[in-house]
Amino acid sequence: MHVFVTGATGWVGSAVVRDLIDAGHQVTGLARNDEKAARLASSGATVIRATLDDLDVLKKAASDADAVIHTAFNHDFSKFAESAAQDQRAIEALGDALEGSERPLLVTSGLSGLPAGATEADEPNHASLRKSEMAAGILRQRGVRTATVRLAPSVHGVGDYGFIPVVIRLAREKGVSAYIGEGLNQWSGVYRQDAAKVYRLALERGVTELVYHAIADEAVTFRDIADVVGRRLSLPVEPKERQHFGWFANMAEATMAASNARTREILGWTPTGPSLLVDLEQPAYYA
């Protein structure tokens, strides 16, 4: 299968590219600068130098592929609404290229705004600024074969630059590994390579579902995360008010925990990587 991957040099996307190539698939990936393009080429993928704003390039690449995986998203939280709009435009362009065919499009979303213990059948949070899942739904109404991969809030592994490093950085800066209230709000987690397999398996099994959950640890309390971080940094672990966390307060207080039962069943997917709390014991996370 020839798969076009956006975000092919990102934390999740690069793992998806590697997994696809290792499984014998041909990959074309999007890279936005020369350094990223060279790194992508070294993995064995064909490189297209462009950005998510180059909609005609996205359409051409999607038209030339057997399937499309969209993992790209600008995670600059200072301009999240702008990034969400860019993401929506890219998904619409990819869908335009695939309309009238049976070639699938997998888009990426998260768990924010979903109820605790959400299943793959739960509707997305329509109030969310990120519209990737809703954009996929609109394309589906036009006959485009789309599905959404919902990622756990922590897609972890050494080199992670997502939310867990923010927790570690805040602990260092403030001198305390903190949580809000009793810290019983829960996050899901998934090892990076395990998440990548969900995308591949969904394509190989024909994209029969509307939603897949790339989730291994279904529910880890924020207090447990803070406990490991505090111990590894030799810092006290204490409750703090929301203002302690600044812009990160909503994330630190949120429950983003969901079930993976349907995805495991339909894909025959069994995560093999370390759990979130075990992974956080690695010294490299704190180097």
**Tens digit of each residue's pLDDT (9 = 90 or more) over 83-116:** 899 999 999 999 999 999 999 999 999 998 899 9
Beta strands in the chain (DSSP E): 2-6, 26-31, 46-49, 67-70, 105-109, 146-151, 154-156, 177-179, 186-191, 211-214, 217-221, 237-239
- Residue 171 shares a structural domain with residue 208: no
Strand partners, 178: 238
Mean pLDDT of all residues belonging to the chain: 95
Q: How many CB atoms lie within 10 A of CB 268?
A: 9
pLDDT category at 267 given cuts 50, 70, 90 is very high
pLDDT category at 75 given cuts 50, 70, 90 is confident
State pLDDT tens for residues 221-266. 999 999 999 999 999 999 999 999 999 999 999 999 999 999 999 9
Q: What is the pLDDT of residue 127?
A: 79
Q: What is the pLDDT of residue 81?
A: 87
- Residue 47 shares a structural domain with residue 133: yes
Separation of alpha carbons 92 and 59, rounded Å: 9
- Residue 37 shares a structural domain with residue 102: yes
Query: Which range of residues forms the domain containing residue 185?
Result: 155-189+218-286
Name the amino acid, one letter, at 56: D
- Residue 95 shares a structural domain with residue 10: yes
pLDDT category at 286 given cuts 50, 70, 90 is very high
- CATH code (residue 168): 3.90.25.10
- Residue 232 shares a structural domain with residue 272: yes
Q: How many CB atoms lie within 10 A of CB 232?
A: 17
Q: What is the pLDDT of residue 186?
A: 97
SS3 per residue for 106-154: EEEECCCCCCCCECCCCCCCCCCCCCHHHHHHHHHHCCCCEEEEEECCE
- In this structure, what token pair is assigned to residue 36? 């990223």
Percent of the chain with pLDDT over 70: 100
Q: What is the pLDDT of residue 126?
A: 82
State pLDDT tens for residues 148-178. 999 999 999 999 988 999 999 999 999 999 9
- CATH code (residue 25): 3.40.50.720
